[in-house]
């Protein structure tokens, strides 16, 4: 993607990471040449580094010789940000059991929401989010609720950027969005209707930790059921309170890695 290829001064580390993060876009596997292209590296350099990354389990080669991420990397990744995920999971499960709707938990990462966990059964609705996936904050209920309760400077910084618009219903007018956030803060929850994807609606409440939002807890429903979505509000609030209680003993720095607004 980025063109800046082999200008000298590029560190080995940056090259090795470029090879790994080349899979961020979601491609399952790539041929060596494709990977070299994606990482912006010469083929022979790619070849040498990939060999070592494979040897150490960060990458793997499938039977056809194509390169993919190593399962050991997934394993390692499970150790990042575990505290919130592991603690919240059973409560998220309860939320799903109680409502029967797709339930998810998200945090803010930079100017986007990052989906930490998601529970749904086979009677699933079209997938809007994906565990480990990101979406714009202005288009999702979890995103809006987090933004609404964030500190002022975060919100201010957010409005200086261009707002994305996945569907025609997504609010991208800063003034109106700001107004909506005030209302969300007053009522204590956020909703969306077809703002990420046509056909689905969502509702979300904040999860606090010592007065600060640390996450958004939400449900996704079919647009046709959007009307009755509010009846899940007490359940959402109850589960959120339980998560808050369960995470109360965890040191804040363990809960929210870095504090930066941008990554």
Residues found near DNA in the complex (CB under 7 A): 6, 8-13, 15, 31-33, 41-45, 47-49, 51, 65-66
- Sign of the dihedral defined by the CA atoms of residues 18, 24, 30, 34, in that order: negative
Tell me the C-alpha distance between 139 and 185, whole Å: 17
Strand-pair category, 112-119 with 29-30: unpaired
SS3 2: coil
Output the smallest distance, CB 37 to DNA, in A: 9
φ/ψ of 26, rounded to 5, equals 115, -5
* Contacts (Cβ under 8 Å, ≥6 apart) of 108: 114, 137, 143, 146, 147, 150, 154, 213
Say if residues 66 and 97 touch (Cβ distance below 8 Å).
Answer: no
- Tokens for 80? 């990042």
Output the smallest distance, CB 7 to a second copy, in A: 16
Using the minimum distance from each CB to DNA, give the nearer residue, 50 or 214: 50
With CB cut-offs between 5 and 8 Å by kind, which of a second copy, DNA, none does residue 42 bind? DNA
Output the smallest distance, CB 165 to DNA, in A: 36
Output the smallest distance, CB 231 to a second copy, in A: 21
Output the smallest distance, CB 115 to DNA, in A: 31
With CB cut-offs between 5 and 8 Å by kind, which of a second copy, DNA, none does residue 6 bind? DNA
> Could you list the residues that contact a second copy (CB under 8 A)?
11-14, 16-17, 20-21, 23-24, 26, 28-29, 49, 52-53, 56-58, 60-64, 66, 68-83, 86, 89-91, 93-94, 96-97, 109, 114, 119-122, 124, 130-134, 242, 252-254, 257-259, 263
């Amino acid at each position: 993607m980025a063109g800046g290829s082999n200008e000298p001064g590029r560190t080995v580390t940056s090259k090795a990471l470029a090879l790994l993060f080349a899979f961020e876009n979601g491609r399952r596997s790539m041929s060596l040449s494709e990977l070299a292209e994606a990482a912006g590296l010469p083929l022979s350099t790619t070849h040498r580094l990939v060999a070592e990354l494979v040897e150490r389990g960060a990458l793997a080669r499938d039977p056809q010789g194509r390169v993919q991420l190593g399962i050991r990397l997934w394993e390692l990744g499970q150790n990042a940000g575990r505290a919130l995920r592991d603690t919240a999971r059973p409560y998220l499960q309860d939320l799903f059991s109680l409502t029967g709707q797709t339930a998810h938990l998200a945090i803010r990462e930079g100017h986007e929401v990052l989906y930490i966990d998601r529970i749904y059964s086979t009677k699933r609705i079209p997938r809007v989010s994906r565990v480990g996936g990101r979406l714009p904050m202005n288009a999702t209920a979890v995103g809006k609720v987090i933004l609404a309760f964030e500190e002022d400077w975060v919100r201010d910084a957010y409005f200086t950027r261009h707002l994305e618009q996945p569907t025609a219903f997504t609010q991208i007018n800063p003034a109106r969005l700001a107004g909506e956030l005030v209302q969300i803060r007053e009522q204590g929850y956020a909703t969306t209707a077809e703002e990420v994807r046509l056909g689905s609606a969502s509702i979300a409440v904040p999860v606090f930790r010592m007065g600060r939002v640390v996450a958004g807890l939400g449900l996704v429903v079919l647009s046709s059921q959007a009307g009755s979505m509010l009846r899940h509000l007490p359940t959402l609030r109850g589960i959120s309170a339980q998560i808050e209680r369960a995470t109360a003993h965890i040191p804040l720095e363990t809960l929210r890695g870095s504090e930066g607004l941008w990554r």
